[in-house]
Structure 1
Amino acid sequence: MPTALSYWEKESFFCNYDVIIIGSGIVGLNAAIHLKKSVPLLKIALLERGFLPTGASTKNAGFACFGSISELIEQEEMVGINRLATIIEKRWKGLLKLRHLLGDKTIDYQCLGGYELFKNNDTSFADTSVSKIEHFNQLITDIVGAGAFSLNHKKIDAFGFESVGTLIENRYEAQIDSGKMMFALIQYAQQLGISIFNNCTVERIEENTQGSCLITQNGNFFCKRLIVTTNAFIKDLYPDIDINAGRGQVLITKPIKDLKVAGTFHYDKGYYYFRNINDRILLGGGRNIDFKAEETITFGVTEAVQQALEDLLKNVILPKTNYEIDYRWSGIMAFGKVLEPLIKEIRPNVFCATRCNGMGIAIGSQTGEDVAELLLKRL
């Protein structure tokens, strides 16, 4: 049974919040920061279920990307060319916002280029993607710059790849250190006077005309307005939200001497992705092997997906290199039929920002700001 709270604890730590945000990932922290900078007198707290931010913000691959050619082809078919341009612009502006807020050095931003690789037996798929290079270059010139995509077959051998026939480069794609980014965001928020409570799972929410009461094992928190930014985990609190969880499994090698691979890489419509980090290869993906099994909020790895990752690593990425896998992990993303994030007031004075569709680094900062602006209109 938890220790009874004192009067001081209840009054100073649990009550009288103008805004409480559930979830201290990229979206939640950016929402809190934007609110506090807009209205400094707001009393704001973030409640986080994990010891560290839980979900995808500290579990991802650290890609500062806005979409590979094959992904953009699929997305254009879904939403049309004009809407896709707007989505790409949001992704790009979100990345710029994150870089401006924290600084490139702080998040270890490195523009080493992004690459989409196609194996020798993917000729039809590769030809379709190559034929769209100029189409997408024209689409995004005014957003990111000219000549984003180009063929660069010379780097297939330079990277040491095997069985790769086509390589499309995106010269504006970059990588960051997700750990450094999240550490910096947390510090930034705390310096502004935002409270962060970890290991504090919200079990249920009781709403009334004065605001919301958040029931946790640590005690009950009270706030006038509430933002939920727990991405896929939002269904624990609001089951009617129309999103699907997507687990992303990842492995990382031990440091490799004279590693040739440098940049961020996409394969099979972005379902596989890898990069260099501190002389290691970080490789993730494979949820398309069994979408239903990976549609889960349970952390963990499976033999089928890990074997697919290891096969790609051994046969394509590092075919002539000795390496050892150091460890493995997983993160939980949220997907939906709509490409844009879900940002709305779901109850009076209760807001949500979720469904980043695997693009949290690109759109997390903008999504946090957008849900904060929605709340500010209600003040």
Structure 2
Amino acid sequence: MNLSYWEIKNWFTAVDYTIVGSGIVGLHAALRLRERFPNSKILVLEKGPLPQGASTKNAGFACFGSLSEIIDDLKNHTEEEVIALIQKRWSGLQLLRKRLGDAAIDFRPFGGYELFLDNDAEGYEECLRRMPFVNEILKPLFKADVFAKEVDRFNFKGIQEYLIFNPFEGQIDTGNMMQALLKEAVSQNILILNSQTVTAINEKSDGVDVSLGDFNFTTKKVLFATNGFAGGLTKGAVKPARAQVLITEPIPNLDIKGTFHVDRGYYYFRNINDRILFGGARNLDFQGETTTEFGETDIIQNQLEKMLREVILPTTDFTVAHRWSGIMGMGAQKNPIVQQLSNHVYCGVRLGGMGVAIGSMIGAELAELV
């Protein structure tokens, strides 16, 4: 970088906190640091022209876990761990809504649904059987039953008799949410630089040297909020998981409203105005989708179109308008990693595909470590 004196003076001199990643976690960390240290100099570095990863590429689900996903989690985590994780997701959604306002993020409380394919009778029966237990353990948090059976009024095809409805979930406009978050950060005198890739860090006794290609600057602390790209930082505890998505052209008289999960959350769809946004099918090719490369594949895109045609919109013609992908951060455990890595380096990563729900809380927790 060929920088002037002015650029070096205003952006890269006397930096107190450098945050790597300008997504939901990174910006919430910056905002919490501003609250804690009003006079500090906070710099956010982002390798993409817009927040990379998943923050501007997700489906905009204001959700905290489908019934089948929660039942799955109870097989691999303790009851206390599962409840704590759901509480963190729920609290994160409330924090996001409180910080930005429902109008700014276009929050719509249409509820969340889970549907079960005809060939998943076993999973369907298990969910119906265990629903009272899950409702019971979540009642202290929500003060009411979270999940209930509901008759399908959307004319889906090839599914079991009942949907599972959750009235506490909703949807947001991901683009509006990230724009509002960026505006809030700028209004709080947080410096954000895009297209900046951190190529190395070198920790010293009094701070960290940060390399941006052939340019170096010094900061007191570095906070990594790079989620799916944090494998090297965490010695492999975070693995990237690509999520492929498509969206239709507008569909006249579309009656589908809400957020919908299928197959333990591996498929998910929603309306966005009068379009259907549909993503998932990562479980068709776990190995191929464990990547930090953006892109779409035929095996997954064809399956998404097939399910749209046969299950979701069986009597409606549609055209796919656009396709994209995002990179999530997964791991053997669902719990996020929020920790101090060394004297001056910290990270908040592994959001488990729940960044909208949990990102604001993880950002705040990351800032509290400093």
- In the aligned structure 1, how far is the partner of 2:214 from the partner of 2:267? 40
% same residue: 45
Determine whether 1:258 maps to 2:256. Answer: no
Partner of 2:301: 306
- In the aligned structure 2, how far is the partner of 1:296 from the partner of 1:351? 24
Matches within 5 A, 1:78-157: 78-153=76-151, 156=152
Query: What do the CA deviations read for 1:27-71 (whole angstroms, capped 9, x no partner)?
Result: 000000011012211110100001100000000000011111110
- In the aligned structure 2, how far is the partner of 1:39 from the partner of 1:239? 27
- In the aligned structure 2, how far is the partner of 1:64 from the partner of 1:221? 38
- In the aligned structure 2, how far is the partner of 1:370 from the partner of 1:102? 18
Q: Using the TM superposition, give the Cα deviation of residue 8 of structure 1 relative to its aligned residue in structure 2, in angstroms.
A: 2.9
1:287 counterpart (282, 291, 316): 282
- RMSD of the TM alignment (CA)? 1.2
Partner of 2:188: 192
Query: What do the CA deviations read for 1:128-165 (whole angstroms, capped 9, x no partner)?
Result: 00111111111112212302100002xx2x21211111
Query: What do the CA deviations read for 1:215-261 (whole angstroms, capped 9, x no partner)?
Result: 1147323200010001121235x362421110000000000001011
Matches within 5 A, 1:51-90: 51-90=49-88
- In the aligned structure 1, how far is the partner of 2:254 from the partner of 2:278? 14
- Kept after mapping to 1: 8 A contact 2:203/2:344: no
Number of residue pairs aligned between Structure 1 and Structure 2: 369
The answer for unaligned runs of 5 or more in structure 1 is: none
* SS state at 1:141 partner: helix
- Kept after mapping to 1: 8 A contact 2:231/2:239: no
2:368 counterpart (359, 365, 373): 373
TM-score using structure 1 length: 0.95
- Kept after mapping to 2: 8 A contact 1:14/1:219: no
Q: Please say which of residues 332-341 and 201-210 is displaced more in the overlay.
A: 201-210
* SS state at 1:321 partner: coil
Partner of 1:211: 207
2:23 counterpart (22, 25, 45): 25
Q: Using the TM superposition, give the Cα deviation of residue 277 of structure 1 relative to its aligned residue in structure 2, in angstroms.
A: 0.1
- Kept after mapping to 2: 8 A contact 1:55/1:332: yes
Runs of 4+ in structure 1 deviating by more than 6 angstroms, as ranges, are: none
2:176 counterpart (176, 180, 184): 180
Partner of 1:202: 198
The answer for unaligned runs of 5 or more in structure 2 is: none
TM-score using structure 2 length: 0.97
Determine whether 1:229 maps to 2:234. Answer: no
Determine whether 1:347 maps to 2:345. Answer: no
2:262 counterpart (251, 267, 272): 267
* SS state at 1:159 partner: coil
Distance 1:239 1:31, change over 3 A: closer
Q: Using the TM superposition, give the Cα deviation of residue 15 of structure 1 relative to its aligned residue in structure 2, in angstroms.
A: 1.9
* SS state at 1:312 partner: helix
Q: What letter corresponds to residue 339 of structure 1 in structure 2?
A: K
* SS state at 1:30 partner: helix
* SS state at 1:167 partner: strand
Q: What letter corresponds to residue 36 of structure 1 in structure 2?
A: R
- Kept after mapping to 2: 8 A contact 1:200/1:218: no
- Kept after mapping to 1: 8 A contact 2:231/2:240: no
- In the aligned structure 1, how far is the partner of 2:28 from the partner of 2:352? 18
* SS state at 2:321 partner: strand
Q: Using the TM superposition, give the Cα deviation of residue 83 of structure 1 relative to its aligned residue in structure 2, in angstroms.
A: 1.4
* SS state at 2:335 partner: coil
